Amino acid sequence: MKLLLDIGNSSVNWAMEDNLRFESEGAFSYQKDNIEHSLQENLSSLQAPTEVLLSNVAGQDVYTHLDNWVQQHWQRQLWEPRVSAQLNGLKNSYIDTQQLGLDRWLAMLAAWDKYQSALCIVDCGSALTIDSIDDGGNHMGGYIVPGVELMQQALIMNTARIKVSINKLASLEYANNTQAAINNGAFLAAVSMIDRVVNNMQNELHASPTCIISGGMAELINPLLKEPFKYEPNLVLNGLLIAQKNST
């Protein structure tokens, strides 16, 4: 049984996989300076995996702590794929392939493998990322902007006269107080960007792409979007399996 780990900047998604079935799965938040505590609390009771597959965008320190913890508890090595120029029919548009985040690459791999069509893939995490793929598997490129919470944090932390807390009320309504103005403005910015990218793809490809959304804020943002999006919370984990399968 394999343990699949998707480590973001503030949360971890995981699943125990056996014969392409997720036997158990979950998610938890963590602090970078104390990730061992979160690993112990959330993963130590799992059956010892035969392999540990990893996507990590949180940096070398987090990788080192995770590697030490996995070796101590299960005596296993981490396996982490690299972003490549092409894999399984998907072609990377980046000139320097290693500049593309591994989580974005794995999400695209999983989506392309499943749908084999033009795709708009949105991840709503700490950062909001959007990647576009045409019906030939060519990565058209993508965007990265602050996520909803980061937008709110930037205003609250860097504007002296704004003294409100972060909110997560999914609304695009006109606001009549500062708290709502910051909250609704952040959601409007995120939704408007996603809608614009989908509209641009429709005009360029003369067809509507299959739209997929994931990430911690996805279920709040999804109902606000003009086009229907499929919620796929485990794209990166599925991408790990595809990457490993195609590495041998």
Q: What is the DSSP letter of 84?
A: -
Structure tokens at 117: 């069509």
The packing angle between helices 148-158 and 178-205, to 10°, is 140
Using CA atoms, how far apart are residues 116 and 111, in angstroms rounded to an integer?
A: 8
- Catalytic one of 18, 33, 67, 103: 103
Structure tokens at 247: 């590495």
Using CA atoms, how far apart are residues 201 and 135, in angstroms rounded to an integer?
A: 11
CA nearest to 88, candidates 128, 121, 133:
133
Is the CB of residue 182 less than 8 Å from the CB of residue 168?
A: no
Using CA atoms, how far apart are residues 195 and 188, in angstroms rounded to an integer?
A: 10
CB atoms within 10 A of CB 30: 21
* Backbone angles phi and psi of 75, in degrees to 5: 55, 45
Annotated catalytic, 103? yes
Using CA atoms, how far apart are residues 167 and 177, in angstroms rounded to an integer?
A: 13
Active site residue ranges: 103
